[in-house]
């Protein structure tokens, strides 16, 4: 049976890149729009008056006057198993991992527990308007199985992978170079491209993998060009010193990954807070992307990622936005963008709200090589949508009433918004979250 959805209301999407043109000029804004979807795919987009006659007979229209409909948001870096230790006090990266994260991740050998947290996590993503994410599981294949099962049931487009970690971690969280390879290969066979699920080869970060494990991760990637890779890079000073000690023969932290064959399109490097000019050059040349995680970087005291330096036109690096929960204290990309704005201000730069929203939608999709599937409201793309209500809260309402332009409304939304600002979330044309 064909499945039709018709959604009416103000919408916005991007027809250009707001980092290369006047940011607001990159936005397509339709004050009274209609989005038609069939079998999960957007079939027509335009003004209500122009398209209303195309609504199939018998279909009720979901109408959102005074809202702003956007493409669903894309979180390019997040750890679902860390949900139970989100907002844990007082430590920077390495101590935070030892104290809170490793004990929490040890529980995911139990697939029943993994299913329960995966389900909560995916529901929470939808409540904040995120429809695609690049997700770390744990070292246990069960944690991946549970996550993909739950995501497949919802038909969300998710990228995930088993963490590879064969040293410098508690014994119950370690694999070996060979077992990590074999388990990842089996999960790729089972899940990569099944429905909307996509696999990321996931070495946690250089300190917890031997050179053999990183090399095998590279060999695994070499088997298929459409696989993703995710890891952490240049997040924290103590971590950086440790990588120098562990890999004395490598020219830099990034070079550890480079020599293992991990840098290419669809490789996502989280943080890059302390990246230097050569690092940005190399990321540009290899086509890998950086997940900018300002909420997490502030929470752990890691530093300020120089976003506008990374985006320099002559060697521009692909950038997405990451919540990095549990180091990030919120799954809401609106809240992460609010942190991103403040970090940019601290560096003497200005993140325009249209640039922020682009990074969280079309730009994020582009950074993952998924721009032909998600990230915009356009015929042929998946109908993954987020319906914002800028007036959802008393403050949002008072601020929106005084707003003088679309930019102003968007800015207030990204500065003040959170889960309450998401009225509804659609995944492949189906409404999976509604605030009512």
| Binding characters for ligand GUN, 193-222, by CB under 6 A (x = yes) | -----------xx-----------------
Q: By CB under 6 A, what part of segment 254-313 binds ligand GUN?
A: 296
- Under the criterion CB under 5 A, does residue 75 sit at the interface with Zn ion? no
Q: Which is nearer to ligand GUN, 124 or 324 (CB)?
A: 324
Which among 234, 223, 173, 227 is positioned nearest to 201, based on CA atoms? Answer: 227
- Under the criterion CB under 6 A, does residue 327 sit at the interface with ligand GUN? yes
Inter-residue contact 320 to 292 (CB < 8 Å): yes
The Cα–Cα gap between 220 and 239 comes to 26
250 binds, among Zn ion, ligand GUN, none (CB under 5 to 8 A by kind): none
Q: By CB under 6 A, what part of segment 100-129 binds ligand GUN?
A: 101
93 binds, among Zn ion, ligand GUN, none (CB under 5 to 8 A by kind): ligand GUN
Minimum distance between the CB of residue 124 and ligand GUN, rounded to whole angstroms?
18
- Under the criterion CB under 6 A, does residue 324 sit at the interface with ligand GUN? yes
Contact window for Zn ion (CB under 5 A) among 183-191, 316-324, 369-377, 413-421: 316-324
Minimum distance between the CB of residue 328 and Zn ion, rounded to whole angstroms?
8
Q: By CB under 5 A, what part of segment 233-272 binds Zn ion?
A: 270
Minimum distance between the CB of residue 262 and Zn ion, rounded to whole angstroms?
16
Q: Which is nearer to ligand GUN, 79 or 274 (CB)?
A: 79
The Cα–Cα gap between 306 and 310 comes to 6
Contact window for ligand GUN (CB under 6 A) among 24-32, 93-101, 195-203, 313-321: 93-101
- Under the criterion CB under 5 A, does residue 324 sit at the interface with Zn ion? yes
Matching residue, tokens 């929490």? 104
Q: Which is nearer to Zn ion, 196 or 271 (CB)?
A: 271
Minimum distance between the CB of residue 164 and ligand GUN, rounded to whole angstroms?
12
Inter-residue contact 383 to 369 (CB < 8 Å): no
How many chain residues are in contact with ligand GUN, going by CB under 6 A? 11
Q: Which is nearer to ligand GUN, 14 or 108 (CB)?
A: 108
Q: How far is CA 78 from CA 40, 91, 154, 320, 371, in A?
A: 25, 19, 18, 12, 20
- Under the criterion CB under 6 A, does residue 93 sit at the interface with ligand GUN? yes
Dihedral sign, Cα of residue 271, residue 275, residue 280, residue 286? negative
Inter-residue contact 135 to 160 (CB < 8 Å): yes
Q: For ligand GUN, which residue has the nearest CB?
A: 327
Q: Which is nearer to ligand GUN, 27 or 165 (CB)?
A: 165
- Under the criterion CB under 6 A, does residue 232 sit at the interface with ligand GUN? yes
Minimum distance between the CB of residue 16 and ligand GUN, rounded to whole angstroms?
32
- Assigned token pair, 354: 């249209």
Minimum distance between the CB of residue 423 and Zn ion, rounded to whole angstroms?
29
258 binds, among ligand GUN, Zn ion, none (CB under 5 to 8 A by kind): none
The Cα–Cα gap between 375 and 365 comes to 5
Minimum distance between the CB of residue 333 and ligand GUN, rounded to whole angstroms?
16
Matching residue, tokens 């991992």? 97
List Cβ neighbours of 98 (8 Å cut-off, separation of 6 or more): none
Q: For Zn ion, which residue has the nearest CB?
A: 324
Binding residues (CB under 6 A) for ligand GUN: these are 79, 93, 97, 101, 204-205, 232, 235, 296, 324, 327
Binding residues (CB under 5 A) for Zn ion: these are 270, 324
């Amino acid at each position: 049976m064909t499945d039709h959805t018709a959604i009416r209301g103000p919408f916005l999407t991007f027809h250009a890149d707001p980092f290369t043109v006047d940011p607001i000029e990159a936005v397509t804004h339709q004050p009274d729009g209609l989005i038609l979807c069939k079998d999960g795919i957007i079939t027509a987009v335009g003004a209500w008056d122009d398209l209303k006659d195309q609504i199939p007979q018998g279909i009720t229209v979901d109408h959102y006057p005074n809202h702003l409909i956007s493409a669903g948001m894309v979180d390019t870096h997040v750890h679902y198993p860390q949900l139970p230790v989100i907002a844990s006090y007082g430590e920077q990266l390495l101590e935070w991992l030892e104290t809170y994260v490793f004990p929490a991740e040890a529980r995911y050998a139990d697939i029943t527990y993994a299913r329960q947290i995966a389900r909560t996590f995916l529901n929470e993503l939808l409540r904040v308007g995120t429809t695609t994410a690049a997700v770390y599981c744990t070292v246990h294949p069960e944690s991946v199985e549970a996550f993909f099962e739950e995501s497949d049931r919802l038909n969300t487009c998710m990228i995930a992978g088993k963490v590879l970690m064969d040293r410098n971690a508690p014994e119950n969280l370690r694999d070996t170079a060979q077992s990590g390879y074999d388990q990842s290969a089996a999960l790729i066979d089972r899940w990569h491209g099944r429905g909307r699920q996509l696999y990321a080869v996931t070495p946690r970060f250089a300190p917890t993998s031997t050179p053999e494990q990183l090399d095998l991760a590279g060999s695994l990637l070499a088997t298929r060009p459409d696989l993703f890779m995710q890891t952490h890079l240049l997040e924290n000073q103590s971590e950086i010193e440790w990588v120098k000690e562990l890999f004395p023969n490598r020219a830099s932290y990034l070079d550890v990954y480079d020599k293992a064959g991990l840098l290419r399109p669809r490789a996502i490097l989280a943080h890059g807070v302390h990246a230097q000019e050569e690092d940005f050059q190399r990321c540009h040349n290899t086509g890998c992307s950086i997940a900018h995680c300002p909420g997490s970087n502030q929470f752990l005291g890691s530093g300020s990622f120089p976003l506008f330096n990374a985006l320099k036109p002559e060697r521009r690096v692909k950038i997405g936005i990451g919540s990095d929960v549990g180091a990030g204290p919120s799954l809401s990309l609106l809240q992460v963008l609010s942190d991103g704005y403040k970090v940019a201000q601290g560096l003497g730069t200005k993140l325009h709200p249209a640039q922020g929203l682009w990074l969280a939608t079309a730009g994020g999709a582009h950074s993952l090589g998924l721009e032909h599937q998600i990230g915009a409201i356009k015929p042929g793309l998946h109908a993954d949508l987020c319906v914002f209500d800028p007036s959802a809260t008393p403050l949002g309402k008072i601020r929106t009433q005084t707003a003088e332009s679309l930019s102003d409304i968007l800015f207030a939304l990204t500065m003040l918004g959170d889960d309450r600002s998401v009225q509804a979330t659609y995944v492949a044309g189906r409404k999976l979250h509604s605030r009512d």
